Amino acid sequence: MSRKFCNGFIPSPKDAAPYGLAYAPVESPPACSSLSQYVRRGGVQIAEDCLAWAYAGAIWATLGLLGLPRTWPSVLALYYIARLKRAKGRKALLTDTGSNMLTMSEIARETGWVSEARWRYEHRNVAAEPPWDALTAGLDQDWLRPRRILHSTKLVPQIKSALSAPGKQARFVVRGKRVDQPYLDWKPGCPPWELTAQVEGRHAELCAAYTEDGLEHVSSWGDRDRIEAWESIENDLEAETWVIDVDVSALVSNLRKMGVMR
């Protein structure tokens, strides 16, 4: 399998201050845990917007986990606003300038998100400017609290703690990393993946489950879930890991304002 990578996910600035540790690691997290039943798999990707898809997937899955009404977020609206924060001139805005997790997390907190119905995932919309309501209608959605996990010896325990927390306290994880051809070729039944070959590009994915062997990644490509070895996660100092935390009281208030809940 060969895949051309563009600029969908780029690393956050190294001096960017993270929002802090999302979870204090538990002493003995379970060996395996899964929230996969809440995840929606991707389809055919028509733009390099893997990061926006991962955040949209985390929003969708979180609403399902909390037992609340849910609608699929507009991936292109999220990606457009993220590029808007980084663009230099309109020409840059309408091309694939990419985004990083810090920027995407900031807009998730500040700008919110809108449903797919407001700005659909269609080829003609990829380089087009969304309607005004697709950029502003999400301003009341101020319940997302993405938090970066600092890369340290506590990285793996924190990932496990987020995904295995009891009941509605569990949270989904988004990771961005470098990938190689063996990663693209990986199939179920293969040993967990580790970065060993020439880097082919960067990719952001949603994580909702783990096993003793590694962390499962759900891709916007929609082809298959891949498992990355825990050792690889511990050793890759260039990867980024964010827990998509939420303010539940703010979420319920937002849904009531929208008329979704009473």
pLDDT at res. 1: 41
Q: What is the rounded (10 degree) CA torsion for 185, 191, 194, 200?
A: 0
pLDDT at res. 129: 79
For the chain, which domains are there? Answer: 33-255 (3.90.70.10)
Any residues with CB less than 8 A from the CB of 114 and at least 6 apart, and which?
Answer: 73, 74, 77, 133, 134, 137, 138, 141
- Render each residue's pLDDT in the chain as its tens digit; 262 residues: 445 454 556 777 665 545 444 455 566 789 999 999 999 986 655 555 788 899 999 999 999 999 998 889 988 888 888 877 766 655 555 566 667 888 888 888 888 888 888 888 877 777 777 888 887 888 777 788 888 887 665 789 889 999 999 999 999 999 999 899 999 899 989 999 998 888 888 889 999 999 999 999 998 887 778 999 999 998 888 888 999 998 888 888 877 776 666 6
pLDDT at res. 9: 65
pLDDT at res. 194: 92
pLDDT at res. 151: 67
Tokens of 250: 């703010």
- CA-to-CA dists, residue 247 to 55, 142, 186, 251, angstroms: 16, 8, 36, 6
Render 209-234 in DSSP notation, one character per residue. Answer: EE-SSEEEEE-TT-S--EEEEHHHHH
- CA-to-CA dists, residue 132 to 112, 114, 129, 234, angstroms: 14, 11, 9, 42
- CA-to-CA dists, residue 63 to 73, 163, 185, 245, angstroms: 11, 15, 32, 12
Tell me the Cα Rg of the chain.
17
- SS3 assignment, position 124: helix
